[in-house]
Structure 1
């Protein structure tokens, strides 16, 4: 029996396969983040992947909106959520969402239980604007941190 006495609908084969793929991709992101060593500087961890330094830092000595996200993901993947949030709050939130995606998509793939509609029902215009506000606030945090205000 599901919520309200109704039997929950089971995921079809293609939905379960897609869920497995989503879980695999999200788990791969977290696995890569776990392999990386978080930078003590709070940014630059992405350089371990062969990527160039952030152009904003190089050109203007100011972090871009995503500076520190790889480092935050790496801290989170190592289980250090306080360091993750302190490094880049939005990166920490996205790392937690990525972990939740592994669980929800993995659960759907394995059991056929349709958890995803509950979570996708949360998405909409309000969540979009909240996410934009969180990104801007996290960017402000990163700028102040980069300038040594913390």
Structure 2
């Protein structure tokens, strides 16, 4: 029987080090999101960090494509997925992707292969295109509803 984790590009030692650092960065990001209290409005959680309100919203009176992103991550790490989706659906999908990257990174490190991907760079490029498209679509949807 074929091992389902046997496919994928072979990883050099430095690829594995980068994957380990990447997964630790993601874990730290999720831990940081947990330290923030989600804003009840569904956006504005980033202001707890001393950052100003969204310039786009301040200048034009409408949400920007990433409004609610920090709030979304803050809800996501608490398992409040419906509130996370309401805060920003595209960022919710990004949070899911980031969460999946952590175990994938460690499985790939152990297997010394980019499990399931012969060309990870192409996958990442397409992932960015999909995320940006979803962010713009959800932004258009939000604007249409306001």
Match of 1:104 in 2: 104
Match of 1:78 in 2: 78
Residue 61 of structure 1 deviates from its aligned partner by 1.2
In structure 2, the gaps of 5 or more residues are none
Q: Distance in 1 between matches of 2:39 and 2:66?
A: 15
Q: Distance in 1 between matches of 2:68 and 2:51?
A: 14
Whether contact under 8 Å (1:104, 1:116) holds in the other structure is: no
TM-score normalized with structure 1 length: 0.79
Cα distance, 1:21–1:143 mapped onto 2, change above 3 Å: same
Cα distance, 1:11–1:128 mapped onto 2, change above 3 Å: closer
Cα distance, 1:25–1:124 mapped onto 2, change above 3 Å: closer
The alignment covers a number of residue pairs equal to 144
Q: Distance in 2 between matches of 1:31 and 1:90?
A: 20
Match of 1:93 in 2: 93
Match of 2:138 in 1: 138
Which one has a larger percent strand, Structure 1 or Structure 2?
A: 2
Whether contact under 8 Å (2:30, 2:73) holds in the other structure is: yes
Residue 13 of structure 1 deviates from its aligned partner by 2.5
Match of 2:3 in 1: 2
Q: Does 1:36 align with 2:36?
A: yes
Match of 1:21 in 2: 21
In structure 1, the gaps of 5 or more residues are none
Larger RCO: Structure 1 or Structure 2 (Cα < 8 Å, ≥ 6 residues apart)? 2
Match of 1:63 in 2: 63
TM-score normalized with structure 2 length: 0.81
Per-residue displacement from partner, 1:31-72 (whole Å, max 9, x unpaired)? Answer: 111111111101000111221110111112111111101111
Please identify runs of 4+ aligned residues in structure 1 that moved more than 4 A: 6-10, 124-129
